[in-house]
Amino acid sequence: MIRALSALKTGLFCLVRALSALKTGLFCLVRALSALKTGLFCLVRALSALKAGLFSELF
């Protein structure tokens, strides 16, 4: 009985750690997606400025 309770406690502890790691992973994923969105926004702005510069050179 004591070994079963100990195993249950260990299992619950591992489950809590797994959920905590999942939460951290999701937080990191959200931050990575936000950084990707910012990077894409900057890339679009740079391409737009380049296009405007080339257009003004031609005309």
- Host domain of residue 32: 25-59
Q: What is the pLDDT of residues 2-54, one digit of tens each?
A: 888 999 999 999 999 999 999 999 999 999 999 999 999 999 999 999 988 88
Q: How far is CA 26 from CA 7, 17, 18, in A?
A: 28, 14, 12
Assigned domain for 55 exists = yes
Would you give the distance in Å from CA 3 to the centre of its chain?
Answer: 40
> Quick check: pTM over 0.75?
no
Give dist(CA 48, CA 16) in Å, integer: 48
Domains held by the chain: number: 1
